[in-house]
């Protein structure tokens, strides 16, 4: 019988930033793959690296000596995955290595060059099953008959036609959560945040065209599980784990108002209410939608804006009105639901005036939470195509990620690093009633402005 291990390369103990946040979630994508393999009778192991270390994982691989090792790969885990590939190829040369995940689609040859035997492009369930079935028949070299893969055959690069997406996704079994120990996740959340949390996915794909967003796995599509099945999953989680909250990982939770209304009914009918938070777009919200979400248990909505400047939003092809975003944030808060938003600085073409508009937007709508980052181009996106010729230096692929890519912006990258802290302090000084805290934020804001001016004209 083929010895199969599914895993990933995320180690929270080796990530200082994540240790400061301590909001780990189980590898949902791998658990979907596991459920699919189990449905078709393929025994396997899921080794969850989240609370492990690279050394412990390597020891486990050495002891288990898998015939097939399938690894999920993304921007966060890329460098760890490359290290694991080197270890396996050196110590376990007979192990067949399969990679999948969002960082694969536009870097197939690169991952094959650092030790992968085969990469899966796009959704993985059907493709992984067919690859394993082929390996179990004794084939480890020729995969041209399987859609959605890339590999080298007799020294020649082969990429097969794209895999047809799973429709309907109600055909997917529930994530195989019993394959891993969920308790460390629940306990970590409880210890650091006072409540436990789990993740649920209700849809695949996104119908929108934001230029910075990657659609490498699910494509620009919209496929939704039925409200009945989602409520059944919530009921199952409630009975098995009793989590305090759910994070819906979907890109736009309220994209279909009809679906949201039916979801509310199913949650009530099945006694499946668990407090949850989700992400959506302002243009897919109104008072009725907010009321539905609240009735279903929603306590926090993240409403994407990315900028307070309509000019920058239009450059991003966000197709949303910043004033309406602000209106929906205010209405969400009025309805007793926490509101969060996302901000991105340093987008191609952004100026200091745009950043000032973003500050004004945040001060006006006063979201309960906001996250802020400096834009970076992900390979395969429209943004990447626009700035590829403007990249400041050619990076070594195997030792960097897309997050390290920089390009010629309106101002220097260092300028935007200080701008992030300027925005945070400018907004936070309006969110506190403490005169001392207000003074601290004001001083920090002034210092950041000075740093910004120093770097404004630097390359």
Half-sphere exposure for 15 (CA within 13 Å, toward CB): 20
> For the segment 11-61, what is each residue's pLDDT rounded down to a tens digit?
999 888 889 999 999 999 999 999 999 999 999 999 999 999 999 999 999
* Residue 393, both tokens: 């230096």
Q: How far apart are the first and last CA of the chain?
A: 59
- C-alpha–C-alpha distance, residues 459 and 457, integer Å: 7
Q: Which fold has domain 4-159?
A: Rossmann fold (3.40.50)
pLDDT score for 304? 87
Question: DSSP readout, 277-305?
Answer: EEEEEGGG--HHHHHHHHHHTEEEEEEE-
pLDDT of residue 456: 83
pLDDT of 458 reads 67
> How many CB atoms lie under 10 A from the CB of residue 360?
15
Please tell me the predicted confidence (pLDDT) of residue 17. Answer: 86
**Which stretches of the chain drop beneath a pLDDT of 70?**
458-459
In the prediction, which pLDDT does 1 show? 77
Please state, in angstroms and rounded to a whole number, the distance separating the CA atoms of residues 177 and 3.
20
pLDDT at 262: 98
pLDDT for the residue numbered 459: 60
pTM, whole model, 2 decimals? Answer: 0.95
What per-residue confidence (pLDDT) applies to 238? Answer: 98
Instruction: Identify whether the C-beta of residue 98 lies closer than 8 Å to the C-beta of residue 81.
Output: no
Arithmetic mean of pLDDT over the chain: 96
Q: What is the pLDDT of residues 163-211, one digit of tens each?
A: 999 999 999 999 999 999 999 999 999 999 999 999 999 999 999 989 9
Burial class of residue 101 (count of CB atoms within 10 Å of its CB; 0-12, 13-18, 19+): buried
- Cα separation values, 246 from 74, 236, 274, 299, Å: 23, 13, 7, 10
């Amino acid at each position: 019988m083929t010895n199969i291990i599914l895993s990933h390369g995320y180690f929270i103990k080796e990530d200082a930033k994540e240790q400061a946040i301590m909001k780990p979630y189980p590898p949902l994508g791998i658990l979907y793959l596991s459920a699919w393999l189990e449905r078709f009778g393929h025994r396997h192991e899921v080794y969850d690296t989240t609370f492990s270390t690279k050394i412990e994982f390597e020891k486990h691989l050495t002891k288990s000596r898998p015939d097939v090792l399938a690894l999920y790969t993304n921007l966060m885990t890329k460098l760890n995955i490359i290290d694991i590939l080197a270890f396996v190829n050196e110590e376990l040369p007979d192990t067949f290595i399969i990679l999948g995940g969002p960082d694969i689609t536009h870097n197939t040859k690169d991952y094959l060059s650092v030790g992968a035997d085969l990469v899966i492009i796009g959704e993985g369930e059907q493709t992984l099953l067919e690859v394993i079935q082929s390996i179990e028949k004794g084939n480890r070299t020729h995969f041209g008959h399987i859609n959605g893969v890339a590999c080298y055959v007799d020294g020649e690069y082969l990429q097969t036609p794209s895999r047809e997406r799973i429709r309907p996704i109600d055909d997917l079994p529930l994530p195989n959560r019993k394959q891993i120990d969920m308790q460390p996740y629940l306990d970590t959340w409880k210890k650091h945040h006072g409540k436990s949390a789990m993740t649920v996915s209700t849809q695949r794909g996104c119908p929108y065209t934001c230029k910075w967003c990657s659609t490498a796995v699910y494509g620009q599509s919209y496929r939704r599980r039925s409200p009945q099945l989602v409520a059944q999953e919530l009921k199952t989680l409630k009975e098995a784990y009793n989590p305090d909250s759910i994070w819906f990982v979907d890109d736009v939770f309220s994209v279909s108002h009809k679906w949201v209304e039916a979801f509310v009914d199913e949650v009530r009918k099945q006694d499946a209410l668990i407090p949850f938070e989700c992400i959506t777009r302002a243009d897919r919200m109104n008072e009725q939608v907010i009321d539905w979400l609240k009735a279903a248990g929603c306590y926090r909505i993240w409403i994407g804006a990315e900028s307070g400047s309509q000019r920058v939003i239009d450059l991003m092809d966000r197709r949303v009105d910043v004033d309406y975003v602000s209106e929906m944030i205010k209405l969400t808060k009025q309805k007793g639901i926490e509101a969060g938003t996302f901000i991105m600085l340093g987008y191609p073409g952004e100026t200091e005036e745009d950043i000032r508009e973003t500050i004004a937007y945040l001060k006006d709508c006063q979201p309960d939470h906001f996250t802020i980052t400096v834009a970076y181009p992900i390979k395969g996106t429209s943004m990447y195509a626009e700035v590829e010729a403007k990249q400041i230096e050619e990076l070594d692929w195997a030792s960097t990620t897309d997050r390290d890519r920089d390009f010629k912006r309106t101002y220097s990258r260092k300028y935007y690093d200080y701008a992030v802290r300027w925005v945070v302090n400018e907004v936070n000084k309006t969110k506190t009633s403490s005169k001392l805290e207000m003074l601290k934020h004001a001083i920090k804001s002034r210092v950041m402005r000075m740093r910004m001016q120093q770097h404004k004209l630097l390359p």
